[in-house]
Protein backbone atom coordinates (compact mmCIF):
# COMPACT_ATOMS: atom_id res chain seq x y z
CA UNK A 1 0.00 0.00 0.00
CA UNK A 2 1.14 3.55 -0.72
CA UNK A 3 2.66 5.46 2.19
CA UNK A 4 1.32 9.08 2.00
CA UNK A 5 4.34 10.51 3.87
CA UNK A 6 6.82 8.87 1.53
CA UNK A 7 4.80 9.97 -1.53
CA UNK A 8 4.76 13.57 -0.25
CA UNK A 9 8.53 13.45 0.41
CA UNK A 10 9.11 12.07 -3.07
CA UNK A 11 7.04 14.87 -4.67
CA UNK A 12 8.90 17.48 -2.60
CA UNK A 13 12.23 16.05 -3.78
CA UNK A 14 11.15 16.21 -7.43
CA UNK A 15 9.90 19.76 -7.10
CA UNK A 16 13.10 20.85 -5.30
CA UNK A 17 15.24 19.21 -7.98
CA UNK A 18 13.31 21.02 -10.72
CA UNK A 19 13.62 24.41 -9.01
CA UNK A 20 17.39 23.86 -8.45
CA UNK A 21 17.69 23.03 -12.14
CA UNK A 22 15.78 26.20 -13.09
CA UNK A 23 18.21 28.33 -11.06
CA UNK A 24 21.24 26.55 -12.55
CA UNK A 25 20.00 26.85 -16.15
CA UNK A 26 19.19 30.54 -15.67
CA UNK A 27 22.68 31.21 -14.30
CA UNK A 28 24.29 29.52 -17.32
CA UNK A 29 22.07 30.70 -20.17
CA UNK A 30 20.17 33.89 -19.24
CA UNK A 31 20.82 36.75 -21.68
CA UNK A 32 22.34 34.50 -24.31
CA UNK A 33 21.35 34.38 -27.96
CA UNK A 34 20.22 31.21 -29.70
CA UNK A 35 21.92 28.20 -28.12
CA UNK A 36 23.31 24.96 -29.53
CA UNK A 37 21.90 22.08 -27.49
CA UNK A 38 23.10 18.49 -27.47
CA UNK A 39 20.84 15.91 -25.84
CA UNK A 40 22.50 12.81 -24.40
CA UNK A 41 25.94 14.34 -24.91
CA UNK A 42 27.76 11.54 -23.08
CA UNK A 43 31.11 12.87 -21.96
CA UNK A 44 31.03 15.74 -24.41
CA UNK A 45 33.31 14.57 -27.20
CA UNK A 46 31.20 16.07 -30.01
CA UNK A 47 30.17 19.28 -28.30
CA UNK A 48 33.67 20.14 -27.07
CA UNK A 49 34.97 19.91 -30.64
CA UNK A 50 31.95 21.90 -31.85
CA UNK A 51 32.52 24.65 -29.27
CA UNK A 52 36.19 24.93 -30.22
CA UNK A 53 35.24 25.30 -33.90
CA UNK A 54 32.42 27.80 -33.17
CA UNK A 55 33.76 30.18 -30.49
CA UNK A 56 30.90 32.65 -30.99
CA UNK A 57 28.15 30.09 -30.31
CA UNK A 58 26.97 29.14 -26.82
CA UNK A 59 26.69 25.37 -26.45
CA UNK A 60 25.10 23.23 -23.77
CA UNK A 61 25.14 19.47 -23.44
CA UNK A 62 22.79 17.59 -21.12
CA UNK A 63 22.90 13.99 -20.04
CA UNK A 64 21.24 11.92 -17.33
CA UNK A 65 24.55 10.23 -16.52
CA UNK A 66 26.39 12.22 -13.84
CA UNK A 67 29.65 10.41 -14.48
CA UNK A 68 29.58 11.33 -18.20
CA UNK A 69 28.73 14.96 -17.43
CA UNK A 70 31.61 15.20 -14.94
CA UNK A 71 33.99 13.96 -17.62
CA UNK A 72 32.57 16.56 -20.02
CA UNK A 73 33.10 19.33 -17.46
CA UNK A 74 36.73 18.25 -17.03
CA UNK A 75 37.21 18.40 -20.85
CA UNK A 76 35.66 21.86 -20.96
CA UNK A 77 37.86 23.12 -18.14
CA UNK A 78 41.02 21.69 -19.64
CA UNK A 79 40.19 23.42 -22.95
CA UNK A 80 39.18 26.66 -21.09
CA UNK A 81 36.01 27.03 -23.14
CA UNK A 82 33.70 29.79 -21.92
CA UNK A 83 31.10 29.07 -24.62
CA UNK A 84 30.48 25.48 -23.48
CA UNK A 85 28.44 24.08 -20.59
CA UNK A 86 27.52 20.57 -19.47
CA UNK A 87 24.58 19.89 -17.25
CA UNK A 88 23.38 16.79 -15.44
CA UNK A 89 19.68 16.74 -16.39
CA UNK A 90 16.96 14.90 -18.21
CA UNK A 91 16.26 16.50 -21.61
CA UNK A 92 12.60 17.30 -20.88
CA UNK A 93 13.37 18.62 -17.38
CA UNK A 94 15.97 20.89 -18.98
CA UNK A 95 13.42 22.19 -21.50
CA UNK A 96 10.98 22.92 -18.67
CA UNK A 97 13.70 24.73 -16.70
CA UNK A 98 14.72 27.12 -19.49
CA UNK A 99 14.33 30.85 -18.75
CA UNK A 100 11.83 32.77 -20.88
CA UNK A 101 13.24 34.02 -24.15
CA UNK A 102 15.92 31.35 -24.63
CA UNK A 103 15.81 29.72 -28.05
CA UNK A 104 17.93 27.13 -29.84
CA UNK A 105 19.74 27.55 -33.13
CA UNK A 106 20.54 23.84 -33.39
CA UNK A 107 19.61 20.71 -31.47
CA UNK A 108 21.74 17.58 -31.79
CA UNK A 109 20.62 14.07 -30.84
CA UNK A 110 23.48 11.71 -31.61
CA UNK A 111 23.19 7.97 -31.15
CA UNK A 112 20.36 8.14 -28.60
CA UNK A 113 19.50 5.00 -26.64
CA UNK A 114 17.57 2.92 -29.23
CA UNK A 115 15.13 1.10 -26.91
CA UNK A 116 14.59 -1.68 -29.47
CA UNK A 117 11.85 -3.59 -27.60
CA UNK A 118 8.37 -2.38 -28.55
CA UNK A 119 7.27 -2.06 -24.92
CA UNK A 120 10.27 0.20 -24.20
CA UNK A 121 9.88 2.51 -27.20
CA UNK A 122 7.99 5.03 -25.07
CA UNK A 123 11.39 5.76 -23.46
CA UNK A 124 12.87 7.08 -26.68
CA UNK A 125 13.69 10.76 -26.59
CA UNK A 126 12.38 11.46 -30.09
CA UNK A 127 8.59 11.47 -29.52
CA UNK A 128 5.85 13.84 -30.76
CA UNK A 129 5.69 15.45 -27.27
CA UNK A 130 9.41 16.20 -27.40
CA UNK A 131 9.08 17.76 -30.88
CA UNK A 132 6.22 19.98 -29.67
CA UNK A 133 8.15 21.13 -26.58
CA UNK A 134 11.36 21.76 -28.56
CA UNK A 135 9.44 23.72 -31.23
CA UNK A 136 8.38 26.23 -28.57
CA UNK A 137 12.09 27.03 -28.11
CA UNK A 138 12.88 27.13 -31.81
CA UNK A 139 13.08 30.27 -33.91
CA UNK A 140 13.17 30.80 -37.64
CA UNK A 141 15.84 28.53 -39.06
CA UNK A 142 16.30 26.27 -36.05
CA UNK A 143 17.59 22.85 -37.06
CA UNK A 144 17.22 19.51 -35.32
CA UNK A 145 19.98 17.03 -36.22
CA UNK A 146 19.38 13.34 -35.50
CA UNK A 147 21.82 10.48 -36.03
CA UNK A 148 21.57 6.81 -35.09
CA UNK A 149 22.98 3.45 -36.07
CA UNK A 150 19.66 1.71 -35.37
CA UNK A 151 17.66 1.80 -38.60
CA UNK A 152 14.21 1.07 -37.09
CA UNK A 153 14.58 4.10 -34.79
CA UNK A 154 15.69 6.20 -37.77
CA UNK A 155 12.66 5.15 -39.86
CA UNK A 156 10.28 5.78 -36.94
CA UNK A 157 11.85 9.20 -36.42
CA UNK A 158 11.40 10.09 -40.10
CA UNK A 159 7.72 9.12 -39.84
CA UNK A 160 7.22 10.95 -36.51
CA UNK A 161 8.72 14.17 -37.94
CA UNK A 162 6.75 13.81 -41.19
CA UNK A 163 3.52 13.68 -39.20
CA UNK A 164 4.48 16.55 -36.90
CA UNK A 165 3.19 20.04 -37.77
CA UNK A 166 6.17 21.95 -36.35
CA UNK A 167 9.13 20.31 -38.10
CA UNK A 168 10.04 19.44 -41.66
CA UNK A 169 12.84 17.16 -42.87
CA UNK A 170 15.24 19.03 -45.16
CA UNK A 171 17.99 17.87 -47.47
CA UNK A 172 21.14 19.45 -46.12
CA UNK A 173 24.65 18.29 -45.53
CA UNK A 174 25.56 17.39 -41.95
CA UNK A 175 26.80 20.65 -40.42
CA UNK A 176 29.68 19.43 -38.28
CA UNK A 177 31.46 16.09 -38.30
CA UNK A 178 33.11 14.79 -35.15
CA UNK A 179 32.99 11.07 -34.47
CA UNK A 180 31.20 10.44 -31.17
CA UNK A 181 32.07 7.58 -28.83
CA UNK A 182 29.05 5.54 -29.94
CA UNK A 183 29.64 6.43 -33.57
CA UNK A 184 33.14 4.97 -33.34
CA UNK A 185 31.58 1.63 -32.31
CA UNK A 186 28.92 1.62 -35.03
CA UNK A 187 29.28 -0.08 -38.41
CA UNK A 188 27.10 2.49 -40.17
CA UNK A 189 24.65 5.22 -39.31
CA UNK A 190 21.68 7.24 -40.58
CA UNK A 191 21.32 11.00 -40.27
CA UNK A 192 18.58 13.53 -40.82
CA UNK A 193 18.10 17.24 -40.30
CA UNK A 194 14.69 18.79 -39.65
CA UNK A 195 13.88 22.47 -39.73
CA UNK A 196 11.31 24.30 -37.64
CA UNK A 197 8.33 24.70 -39.92
CA UNK A 198 7.98 28.50 -40.14
CA UNK A 199 4.32 28.69 -41.13
CA UNK A 200 3.02 26.95 -38.02
CA UNK A 201 2.47 28.57 -34.66
C1 LIG B 1 23.99 5.73 -26.51
S2 LIG B 1 24.58 7.06 -25.55
C3 LIG B 1 25.24 8.19 -26.79
C4 LIG B 1 26.22 9.18 -26.21
C5 LIG B 1 26.84 10.14 -27.25
N6 LIG B 1 25.81 10.97 -27.86
C7 LIG B 1 27.59 9.39 -28.30
O8 LIG B 1 27.15 9.38 -29.47
O9 LIG B 1 28.65 8.83 -27.98
C10 LIG B 1 23.06 7.88 -25.10
C11 LIG B 1 23.23 8.92 -24.04
O12 LIG B 1 21.97 9.57 -23.81
C13 LIG B 1 21.82 9.77 -22.41
N14 LIG B 1 20.36 9.93 -22.16
C15 LIG B 1 19.42 8.96 -22.26
N16 LIG B 1 18.20 9.46 -21.99
C17 LIG B 1 18.37 10.79 -21.74
C18 LIG B 1 17.50 11.85 -21.38
N19 LIG B 1 16.18 11.64 -21.24
N20 LIG B 1 17.99 13.08 -21.19
C21 LIG B 1 19.33 13.29 -21.32
N22 LIG B 1 20.23 12.33 -21.64
C23 LIG B 1 19.76 11.10 -21.85
C24 LIG B 1 22.48 8.55 -21.78
O25 LIG B 1 22.86 8.76 -20.44
C26 LIG B 1 23.69 8.36 -22.71
O27 LIG B 1 24.84 9.07 -22.26
Does pLDDT of 126 surpass 60? yes
Give the C-alpha separation, 142 to 171, whole Å: 14
Q: Whose CA is nearest to atom 4 of ligand 1?
A: 42
Does pLDDT of 201 surpass 70? no
Q: Whose CA is nearest to atom 13 of ligand 1?
A: 40
Question: Is the minimum distance from the CB of 111 to ligand 1 under 6 angstroms?
Answer: yes
Give the C-alpha separation, 53 to 5, whole Å: 51
Cα angle 89, 200, 144 (rounded to 5 degrees) comes to 40
Distance 170 CA to ligand 1 centre (A): 24
Q: Which of 20, 90, 106, 113 is catalytic?
A: 113
Give the C-alpha separation, 7 to 4, whole Å: 5
Residue (of 31, 38, 79, 78) closest to 55 by Cα position: 79
Domains delineated in the chain: 4-196 (3.40.50.150)
Give the C-alpha separation, 62 to 83, whole Å: 15
Q: Find out whether 190 and 145 touch, Cβ atoms under 8 Å.
A: no
Residue 67: active-site member: no
Residue 64: is it exposed, middle or buried by C-beta count within 10 angstroms (0-12/13-18/19+)? Answer: middle
Which of 47, 63, 70, 116 most suits a substitution to test ligand 1, by most atoms within 8 Å of the C-beta? 63
Percentage with pLDDT > 90 across the chain: 83
**134-158 pLDDT, tens digit each:** 999 998 899 999 999 999 999 999 9
**31-56 pLDDT, tens digit each:** 788 999 999 999 999 999 999 999 99
Q: Which helix (H) or strand (E) holds 73?
A: helix 66-79
Give the C-alpha separation, 77 to 190, whole Å: 32
Question: Is the minimum distance from the CB of 40 to ligand 1 under 6 angstroms?
Answer: yes
Confidence of residue 60 (pLDDT cuts 50, 70, 90): very high
pTM confidence score: 0.94
Give the C-alpha separation, 152 to 187, whole Å: 15
Does pLDDT of 183 surpass 60? yes
Q: Sort strands 138-148 and 190-196 into parallel, antiparallel or unpaired.
A: antiparallel
Which of 112, 123, 146 most suits a substitution to test ligand 1, by most atoms within 8 Å of the C-beta? 112
Distance 41 CA to ligand 1 centre (A): 6
Distance 47 CA to ligand 1 centre (A): 13
| Closest ligand 1 atom to Cα of 184 | 9
Residue (of 129, 96, 124, 128) closest to 111 by Cα position: 124
Residue (of 64, 69, 61, 72) closest to 35 by Cα position: 61
* Residue 92 CB contacts under 8 Å (≥ 6 apart), including other chains: 130, 133
Amino acid sequence: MENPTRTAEHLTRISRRQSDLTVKVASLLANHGPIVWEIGCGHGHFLTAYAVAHPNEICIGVDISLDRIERGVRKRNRAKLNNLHFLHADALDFLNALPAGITFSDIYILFPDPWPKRRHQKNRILQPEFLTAAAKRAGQGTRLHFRTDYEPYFRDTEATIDRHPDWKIVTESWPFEEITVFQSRAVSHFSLTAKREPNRA
